[in-house]
Amino acid sequence: MRAPIGVFDSGLGGLTVLRALHERLPHEDLLYFGDTARVPYGTKGEKTVRAFARQDAGLLVARGVKMVVVACNTASAFALDHLCDVLPVPVLGVIEPGVRAALAATRGGTIGVIGTSGTIRSGRYQQGLAAAGLGPERIVAAECPLFVPLVEEGLGGHAMTRLAVAEYLRPVRDAHVDTLILGCTHYPLLSADIEAFLGSDVRLVDSAEALATAACGALAAAGALNDGDEPGRLSFILSDIPWKFAEIGARFLGKPIEGVESVGLDEMEAAGHALGGQA
């Protein structure tokens, strides 16, 4: 019960998941790993992402976590099944909770999903929606690769962001979606820009919030919730310390970040090998 929950992402976007988890589970210790030396994952191939995700998760397991939360949509798309096979602790990815939340939010119209190129081209969100009975005419997907750098530069509300939103989301708006899955943990920081373009009637599904809800339910079902009264600790590990990390990280987390540890790629590779099996 007292072991931390491990969260990993390809960079800093997963801090939105960490924030949601901390708000939902304030007594849980949370250990975050961001693979900032190899970000982004969204432009890489499946084999590479799966190998990286294995190392990321292995590092968290080596630190004694009781659950691994995959806060990266691309890693969830390409590596979740593999992680479920090799990890000795429960694993949650962001896609299934996002699909469930979208299905609960829709009013019977078209559901849209936006994400990085890797996430959208994997088809995992589309497959999840189709498995629930949605026909192809009720599913629309769009790659939005420029959203990540716009968020990290703090350009929410900027004219460049409004132009990018219009360019990427015009087909989504033309499809008359009533629900949109924000299929990247960066994207909730652009919610105001997205809503302004699509209209307030479109329900936005925050993948971070959906994943935090799923993690809370899974821990409760397993009897693994921390029963202590002390506030949970937030700990951070990065594979590289970006020069704007403090500024960007605080924007995602909603408060300053302190006590960041860095690890080398050799330690990460060793953690991946320690899991056994084939990568």
All structural domains of the chain, each given as residue ranges with its CATH number in brackets, are: 5-93+209-274 (3.40.50.1860), 95-207 (3.40.50.1860)
Quick one: tokens of 44? 């890489």
Q: What is the pLDDT of residue 277?
A: 64
Mean pLDDT, the chain, as a whole number?
Answer: 93
pTM of the model: 0.91
| 10/39 Cα distance (integer angstroms) | 5
> Is 144 a residue of the active site?
no
127-171 residue pLDDT tens = 999 999 999 999 999 999 999 999 989 999 999 999 999 999 999
Q: Which residues are within 8 A (CB) of 247 and not within 5 positions of it... i.e. 6 or more apart?
A: 154
Q: Which residue of the set 72, 84, 144, 216 is catalytic?
A: 72
Q: Phi, psi at residue 62, to the nearest 5°? A: -65, -25
Q: What is the mean pLDDT of residues 80-103?
A: 95
Q: Which residue of the set 84, 144, 184, 216 is catalytic?
A: 184
> Is 84 a residue of the active site?
no
Inter-axis angle of helices 95-105 and 73-86, to 10 degrees?
120
102-126 residue pLDDT tens = 999 999 999 999 999 999 999 999 9
Q: What is the pLDDT of residue 276?
A: 76
Best CA proximity match to 16, nearest among 94, 83, 90: 94
Q: What is the mean pLDDT of residues 237-262?
A: 87
Q: What is the pLDDT of residue 242?
A: 77
